[in-house]
Structure 1
């Protein structure tokens, strides 16, 4: 699959076109390095990563059976990183009762010079809609750092409910879930198609 392939696209009434394409760990490495090492990406835990570190990490993800990474576009320009994973096999193994159709998610908004009101919410809405475009996805599972209050508010805005804190090796995380029905009720978006 080429990085020019669009896996999912939607039009935001205010902010315009959003799309998701495959990530290329080598071609996108410089872009990703600038994003994950930016001070605003502290919760991504790659602040001190070198360019080769980022290449290795995303080559590992690209080769993984239960983990994928994508580049999100806004009006055709790279604007966010999206990851999906199987939480019954990665990240949350043994920390919660996995259900069929669970999909884990991480997202990171690229640092920008000019903030756009509502942009991050439009990004998480796009990420969630892309995940739910797969009919096999029944529930999205997230485990952000308990201290990341900004993302907790965003998660709540798109329908997540908090399950509670879980201790991971690298952080104390706030385990939260969002079903397709919760997402649709919170955002007014109908889900369908396939990623």
Structure 2
């Protein structure tokens, strides 16, 4: 599967009157029951707009929309874990990049789609030669994402307490990702 990624535009009228804005789209995704681990189940559209306006203004945090055949199908966030999300919770190393991703909810799931998305996200992050490790902090209860993370090379480092959740700090080096993909040369 081939995906493209573009920056999320948090402007309310980004796509005009006939199409959903990025924040309207994301609002539908993060408030969906399958997205409970995003902790935004009760978010209003204005909350999502405020969150992504803040991300757009932050020098250490970015958000992107992932597309398949020009259709939005996932959300990806990239952040510097020394400054965002994990600041003070672990010892960041040079080249660490934090990541969140969310696949758009669907009534017609495609086998292997979520794994293809996380693979595309990891490829996007490792396309930057400065990225040495991808760091994530999924909720300890999110067994599905732990299994998915393992398939692309993540290893749990430790359990950490964040204000909003208990999480497994996990890391994946470029080498671990390539090995998981069977691409070590």
TM-score range, shorter chain: over 0.9
Give the corresponding residue for 2:35: 41
Question: Which of the pair has the greater relative contact order for Cα pairs under 8 Å at 6+ separation?
Answer: 1
SS of residue in 1 equivalent to 2:42: coil
Matches of 1:145 and 1:187 in 2, distance apart?
A: 25
What pairs with 1:48-67 in structure 2 (closer than 5 Å)?
48-67=42-61
The aligned counterpart of 2:151 is 157
Q: Please give the residue correspondences for 1:120-159 in structure 2 after superposition, counting only pairs within 5 Å.
A: 120-159=114-153
The normalised TM-score by structure 1 is 0.88
Q: Which runs of 5+ in 2 are unaligned?
A: 12-20
Q: Which of 23, 26, 33 is the matching residue for 1:32?
A: 26
TM-score (norm 2): 0.92
Question: How far did 1:189 drift?
Answer: 5.0
C-alpha distance 99-107 of structure 1, shift in aligned 2 (>3 A):
same
Rounded to whole Å, the distance in 2 between the matches of 1:189 and 1:32 is: 33
Structure 1 position 21 matched with structure 2 position 1: no
Distance in 1 between residues matched to 2:27 and 2:87, nearest whole Å: 28
Distance 1:58 1:76, change over 3 A: same
State the shift of 1:34 in Å: 0.3
Q: Distance in 2 between the 1:75 and 1:189 partners?
A: 26
Distance 2:123 2:74 in 1: 15
Structure 1 gap segments, 5+ residues each: 1-11, 191-195
Aligned to 2:93: 99
Write the mapping of 1:165-180 to structure 2, written as runs, cut at 5 A: 165-180=159-174
Alpha-carbon separation, structure 2, partners of 1:189 and 1:62: 34
- In 2: Cα distance, 1:59 partner to 1:22 partner: 12
CA-based RMSD = 1.0
After superposition, give the CA deviation of every residue in 1:56-111 in whole Å (9 maximum; x if it has no partner): 11000000010000000122210000000000111111111110000000000000
1:185 — aligned with what? 179
Distance 2:35 2:54 in 1: 20
